[in-house]
Amino acid sequence: MDASNEGLRVLYPARKEFVRLQFDDAEKEMIKKRTFSINVREQLSSTFAVLWWGPSWAQSGSKPLTHVRMWIDNTSAVSWCNHLYSRNEFSQELNRVLGAAEAEWSLRVSAAHLAGQNNFLADLGSRAWSGGKLMTWTQLTSPKLTPGHATAIAGMRRISPPTTPRAPVSIGMLEWIARNTRVEEIQQRLVLGATLLGFFFALRSSEYLAVKGGRHRYALEVRDVEVFDSAMQPTRSGNDAQVVSISLRRSKTDQSAKGVTRYLHRSGNPRICPVRAGLLLLQLASHNGLQSQEPICSLERGRQLKAKTISKVLQRAAASTGCDQKLYSCHSLRSGGATAMLAGGVDSTTVKLHGRWSSDTFQRYTRYTSAVGTYIAGSMVGTREFGNSYEISSLGRGSRHNGVPARR
């Protein structure tokens, strides 16, 4: 990290991320008057980094304390960070913020000195707001493909076999999981609740499960799921429950963190129902003593249900229903939910909105099954009839011909 008279810059090599902040006119005026020293600006970069990435560091590990090491080319800033002590009034304020962040997110922040000549990229980033420096910065951080690259990539695509798309989960598979769930076992009830929630709300794995052993910062928490009765009052009664809601504070396609809430009513199937899923998860959260800000799909505090566990259950269900288990993973729940909505006559705009797709890419994940075509012919002629038994006979002899009902 580094700071200059124009702004500050923080590099996060492990994630291949960076943050840049340009000073405004008032701050630049303070720099000219020497009331906003370079030492304070250097320390500000470290405090800014903690505020920016602190929430994700707090949620990324299971250890009670996470150590974060900062590399700064200013010895005063290093000392102030390590001791949380300074006679400078601006630094004192930053130390208070840093100390509060450490307490809030269970962090221990330390700093070490990095020689200025080895801090080229951070130094450039703090100054590159226009002219040649900005061009150099852009070239270093945003590499562009040349026509030669495009040719090579096209060749690799011809050589490499296409990836096998994941098959959508069917209602039959969900029925199999529900029938074979031993309700007396907490983990099996949790798996059933998570599976149904993922299917009906077309959730991404990271939105409710531990992916690759880690919890995502916007995974559904206990406070994000609620069940209501017919008067939209919260309830935990299976007899009164009519509606379930989830609130996603952020998602892959919600980069501005506006958040969304989705509601679903009872499905009419007592075993395969989103309201049942919400009740199961909330009851288990209470039984396991989960706090409101802990992942709702957790076996116990600090132990979130893994996506791999759900994938294995789906694969067993696929094999038991005569499907190729290799084609199924957690993503099959999301694609299965979209496919089921289309098969049920839900228009594509609603599918896109419900599943929070930012474009029409959801169409790649859905499958055209026989059920999808159930309503099409009837909708095209304005009858929406389906499933009739038709006799196929020669003209003038049968009561019906080619699917056209005879006069009644």
Over the stretch 306-336, which tens digit does the pLDDT of each residue have?
999 999 999 999 999 999 999 999 999 998 9
- What CATH number did the domain enclosing 219 receive? 1.10.443.10
Assigned domain for 306 exists: yes
Assigned domain for 152 exists: no
Give yes or no: residues 67 and 35 share one domain: yes
Give yes or no: residues 20 and 113 share one domain: yes
Return the pLDDT at 308.
Answer: 93
Q: In the block, which residue shows the tokens 């209501």?
A: 228
156-213 residue pLDDT tens: 666 556 667 788 999 999 999 999 999 889 999 999 999 999 999 999 999 999 987 6
| Residue 146 confidence class, pLDDT cut points 50, 70, 90 | low
Assigned domain for 234 exists: yes
- The residue ranking higher by pLDDT, 214 or 110, is 110
Domain range enclosing 234: 171-365
Give yes or no: residues 243 and 310 share one domain: yes
| Residue 71 confidence class, pLDDT cut points 50, 70, 90 | confident
Give yes or no: residues 222 and 301 share one domain: yes
Give yes or no: residues 341 and 382 share one domain: no
Assigned domain for 63 exists: yes
Assigned domain for 336 exists: yes
Assigned domain for 159 exists: no
Return the pLDDT at 203.
Answer: 93
Give yes or no: residues 186 and 293 share one domain: yes
Return the pLDDT at 297.
Answer: 94
Cα dihedral 285/289/294/295 (nearest 10): -30
Give yes or no: residues 65 and 194 share one domain: no
Give yes or no: residues 252 and 325 share one domain: yes
Give yes or no: residues 69 and 178 share one domain: no
Give yes or no: residues 208 and 319 share one domain: yes
CA distances from residue 138 to 5, 50, 299 in whole angstroms, order as listed: 20, 25, 46
Burial annotation 229-247 (CB, 10 A radius, 16+ → b, else e): eeeeeebeeeeebebbbbe
336-379 residue pLDDT tens: 988 888 888 888 888 888 888 776 655 665 555 555 555 545 54
pLDDT at 154 > cutoff 80:
no
Residues in the chain: 408
Return the pLDDT at 90.
Answer: 87
Give yes or no: residues 74 and 39 share one domain: yes
Domain count, the chain: 3
Residue 262 contacts by C-beta under 8 Å, 6 or more apart in sequence? 201, 245, 246, 248, 354
Assigned domain for 26 exists: yes
Assigned domain for 219 exists: yes
| Residue 276 confidence class, pLDDT cut points 50, 70, 90 | very high
Give yes or no: residues 91 and 179 share one domain: no
